[in-house]
Amino acid sequence: MAYTGSCACGAVTATIAGEPIAVRQCWCRQCQHIAAGSATTNAMFATDNVEISGTLNTRSYVAESGNTLTQSFCGLCGTAVMGQSSARPQFRTLRLGFLDPPHNLAPEVVIWTDDAPAWAPIDPALESFPRQPPAPAPVES
Ligand SMILES: [Zn+2]
Ligand SMILES: [Zn+2]
């Protein structure tokens, strides 16, 4: 199916084709910053399937892995839109809050649980990783 996305103010929108390669919840410190204290929940799509309209502001930084991560957000309302890693330019990681409902996407994996606060509601039924997990399998397209 196709997905659409929009920020809180509507200045940034997106259409996304195909299904995500993975849906993950991330509790790393950077994500706690952009998600106002909680985790981010992210759907990883093939870059070629993601079409963004509107102006994104970005912030890039070097992660512990040594890869450069670029976070994109709406410069008007601050909604987190997506992230991208220099190690995996073929994927874009869309924030689930940016995607328009209804959709059936939900986290399958929880990562960076070492950084989660003690009160974090981490679903014990989901596979979890204390830090960065292995990269998802490459997609055919
Ligand atoms: Zn906005
Ligand atoms: Zn994170």
pTM for the model: 0.91
CB 21 within 8 A of CB 39: no
Per-residue tokens: 108: 């399958």
Ligand nearest to the CA of 81: 1
pLDDT given at position 57: 98
In DSSP notation, 23-46 reads EEEE--HHHHHHTTTS-EEEEEEE
How remote is the CA of residue 71 from the centroid of ligand 1, in Å?
Answer: 15
Query: From the CA atom positions of the chain, what is the Rg in Å?
Result: 14
How remote is the CA of residue 73 from the centroid of ligand 2, in Å?
Answer: 15
Q: How far is CA 22 from the centre of its chain?
A: 10
**Helix ranges, the chain (H):** 29-34
Ligand nearest to the CA of 26: 2
How remote is the CA of residue 141 from the centroid of ligand 1, in Å?
Answer: 31
Instruction: Give pLDDT tens digits along the chain (141 positions).
Output: 689 999 999 999 999 999 999 999 999 999 999 999 999 999 999 999 999 999 999 999 998 778 999 999 999 999 999 999 999 999 999 999 999 999 999 999 999 999 999 999 999 999 999 998 876 665 554
CB 50 within 8 A of CB 32: no
* Environment class of 54 (CB within 10 Å of its CB; exposed 0-12, middle 13-18, buried 19+): middle
Ligand nearest to the CA of 54: 1
Question: In sequence order, what are the beta bridge partners of 62?
Answer: 68
For 9-29, the pLDDT digits (tens) are 999 999 999 999 999 999 999
How remote is the CA of residue 127 from the centroid of ligand 1, in Å?
Answer: 33
pLDDT given at position 134: 75
pLDDT given at position 141: 43
Query: In sequence order, what E strands does the chain have?
Result: 3-6, 13-16, 22-26, 40-46, 50-53, 56-62, 68-74, 80-85, 91-95, 109-111, 127-128
